[in-house]
Amino acid sequence: MPETKTPLGPADIQGLLPPATPEVDALRRRLLDVLFTPTRLRMSYEEFLDWADEDTLAEWVNGEVIMTSPASQQHQKISDFLSFILHTFTEERALGTVLSAPFQMKLENGREPDIIFVATEHLGRLKKNYLDGPADLAVEIISPESAARDRGDKFYEYARGGVPEYWLIDPLGEQVDFYRLAGDRYETAFSGHEGRYDALVIPGFWLQVAWLWQEPLPKVLDVLRKLEIV
């Protein structure tokens, strides 16, 4: 019968190192920090902004750093497609600006929606590396890992925080749920697999939901022509 091996603990690691010297003590501390520091770090939001770089996939929730998973290829294709047409449309109509993750939206927590739109009249909320307050539109593209957050915690946080429009896009289920704020709660504006949806906070912008499930996705120039941008 093969021998069962017990995972190494801090005491085992210390026993493998040579006798103590200042250099060995420093190495021991660094090694133990790397191997046994909890995956969730606690810090202030200001510390989080200093700690995270442009490639960090993380959110700041109740004072803790919550790491998120990299996006799938399908997720990224839909995100890029929507970001491009939204950005081009809003830029050409001088309606505001569109930003995609990783970029923080700071409400009660620091979240990273996949896409946000900030209307011209609210551009003062934009800081160097985060949005201080609600976006006019937040878009989340659901993955198996994010579904509970997107439909649970974020759904209620975005409503309490005053995000007027919230889009949930589920590529695996080929289903969208688009919400509009009524008081401090969301009401369903559109839900389904296909059909046309006219955005609330981006005047003149509409989307054929079935575009999102096409393989390959529609050509961006064709979509912009239909939107009368080019």
Cα distance between residue 79 and residue 73, in whole Å: 10
Per-residue pLDDT band at 152 (split at 50, 70, 90): very high
CATH 3.90.1570.10 location in the chain: 73-226
- Interval 153-181 mean pLDDT: 96
Instruction: Domain 73-226: give its CATH code.
Output: 3.90.1570.10
Q: Tokens 């006019």 map to which residue?
A: 136
Q: Would you call 42 helix, strand, or coil by DSSP? A: strand
**pTM of the full structure:** 0.75
pLDDT surpassing 60 at residue 32: no
The side-by-side arrangement of strands in the sheet containing 130-132 is 64-67, 58-61, 110-111, 104-106, 130-132
Name every residue whose Cβ is closer than 8 Å to that of residue 99 and which is 6 or more positions away in sequence. 115, 116, 118, 131
Higher-confidence residue of 18 and 161: namely 161
Q: Which residues of 172-201 are buried (b: 16+ CB within 10 A; e: fewer)?
A: eeebbbbbebeeeebeebbeeeeeebebbb
pLDDT at 198 over 70: yes
